[in-house]
Amino acid sequence: MKTLQNYFDAKNVSPDLQKLIFSLLWAGANFYELTLFHYDFQNFYADTTNKSGDRQLKIDVAANDVFVGLLKENDVSLIASEELAEPMKGKSGGKYAVAFDPLDGSSIVDADMSVGSIVGVYEGDSVIGRKGSEQVAALAFVYGPQFTFFITVGQGTLAGVYRPENYPDDIAEEKRHDQFYVSNENVTLTEDGKYFAPGNLRAAASESWYMKTLQEWIKAGSTLRYSGGMVPDIGHIFIKGGGIFLYPGTAQKPDGKLRLLYECAPFAFLVEQAGGKAITQKGDRILDITVEFPHQTTSIFLGSKNDVEKIIGKIKS
Ligand code: AHG
Ligand code: MN
Ligand code: MN
């Protein structure tokens, strides 16, 4: 298998961006092997809630600490996390602003289901007033039976895997890069997918278009693949090469619950670079939405182009 280093060299990715991406991967590998694997899920909740009003788990906080710790050592001027009330300053004059969801899938982690991390990288020192289309890289890590990852630097989307020779703390810095391999350097979504991952299924009770759409997928013989974790659910679409993931809003909560900055914008970048589409319930491109406040949410439909476009017609009709 080609190493990620070989891929970056072939694509002429700037050394600064490479360094940041390897640090993020290293944060993911550390969290996966040293924290998550050994975690005591009996002792679950922290005494805090995050800005979205979710009760924080100790593991959410632990994941955040691993990422923030590594980002502080990097050329990063702003660190924005789903688990921080406000973005925090990093190095003054740092080249990048990084936004992330350190642990996606908090509600299923104690059941030992796959979870993940999601990251969006911007140049500059701000995230507010920016659009997802300004991201220079997006990453999603899946912590499952293996540590797999999806990365885009705007030259297509790659899938990769971590193959450690040893535990991370035993390995010299310069050897770390050789442990990240590319399993598919050109993830490509078919225009029509065979799989559907319907988030916020509860909304089907009040939103008739959603109920109708689900029935049509079932009648058409599509396959349900839904775990309750955005990262493994979209990761499944990338690995199988097509499908749709959605998290719609309702009349009461039109923007749903998934966060634009930490979850939707990075995935929209990854999906578009794989030839797919990512839009809101109104049909607006996710990457064109301006971030107005850190924990802003948006409805989202993303994946295979035709699957995504077809739903918009249903909502209107
Ligand atoms: P997080 O764990 O970061 O709060 O995000 C969980 C998200 C996402 O992973 C998943 O698709 C969605 O929540 C599921 O939400 P519902 O339980 O509301 O369907
Ligand atoms: Mn999440
Ligand atoms: Mn989270």
Measured torsion, CA atoms of residues 220, 221, 222, 224, in degrees rounded to the nearest 10: 130
Domain count across the chain: 2
Beta-bridge partners for 17: none
Look up tokens 């990338």; give the residue. 238
Say if residue 42 is in the same domain as residue 165.
Answer: yes
Left, alpha or beta for 19 (phi > 0: left; psi -120 to 50: alpha)?
Answer: alpha
Examine residue 204 and state whether it is found in any structural domain, yes or no: yes
What is the three-class DSSP state of 95?
coil
Atom of ligand 1 at shortest range from CA of 202: 19
Ligand number with the minimum distance to the CA of 115: 1
Say if residue 210 is in the same domain as residue 148.
Answer: no
State how far the Cα of 148 lies from the Cα of 170, in Å rounded to an integer.
21
- Residue ending a domain, choose from 124, 159, 184: 184
What is the rounded average pLDDT of the residues 241-247? Answer: 98
Residue ranges near ligand 2 (ion) with Cβ within 5 Å: 101, 104
- Kindly state the helix (H) or strand (E) to which residue 301 belongs, with its residue range: strand 300-303
How much is the pLDDT for 55? 86
Look up tokens 């895997």; give the residue. 161
Say if residue 230 is in the same domain as residue 98.
Answer: no
Ligand 1 pocket, mutate which of 58, 113, 231, 247 (most atoms under 8 A from CB):
247
The structure tokens listed for 118 are 């999601």
- Residue 228 near ligand 1, beta carbon < 6 Å: yes
Examine residue 190 and state whether it is found in any structural domain, yes or no: no
DSSP summary character for residue 289: P
Select from 213, 189, 192 the least CA-distant residue to 203.
213
State how far the Cα of 309 lies from the Cα of 317, in Å rounded to an integer.
13
Say if residue 101 is in the same domain as residue 48.
Answer: yes
How much is the pLDDT for 156? 98
How much is the pLDDT for 24? 97
Say if residue 131 is in the same domain as residue 151.
Answer: yes
Examine residue 189 and state whether it is found in any structural domain, yes or no: no
Examine residue 244 and state whether it is found in any structural domain, yes or no: yes
Q: Structural domain of residue 294, as residue ranges? A: 195-316
- Whether residue 69 is predicted with pLDDT greater than 90 in this model: the reply is yes
pLDDT tens figures, 102-151: 999 999 999 999 999 999 999 999 999 999 999 999 999 999 999 999 99
Evaluate the CA torsion angle 165, 171, 175, 179 in order and state its sign: positive
Say if residue 84 is in the same domain as residue 146.
Answer: yes
Look up tokens 């701000």; give the residue. 126
Residue nearest to atom 17 of ligand 1 (CA): 228
Say if residue 146 is in the same domain as residue 277.
Answer: no
- Residue 109 near ligand 1, beta carbon < 6 Å: no
Quote the percentage of the chain above a pLDDT of 90. Answer: 86
Ligand number with the minimum distance to the CA of 232: 1
Residue nearest to atom 1 of ligand 1 (CA): 104
Mean pLDDT of the chain: 95
- Residue ending a domain, choose from 184, 218, 234: 184
Task: Tell me if residue 83 is catalytic.
Answer: yes
Examine residue 72 and state whether it is found in any structural domain, yes or no: yes
Atom of ligand 1 at shortest range from CA of 231: 9
What is the three-class DSSP state of 102?
strand
The structure tokens listed for 95 are 């080249």
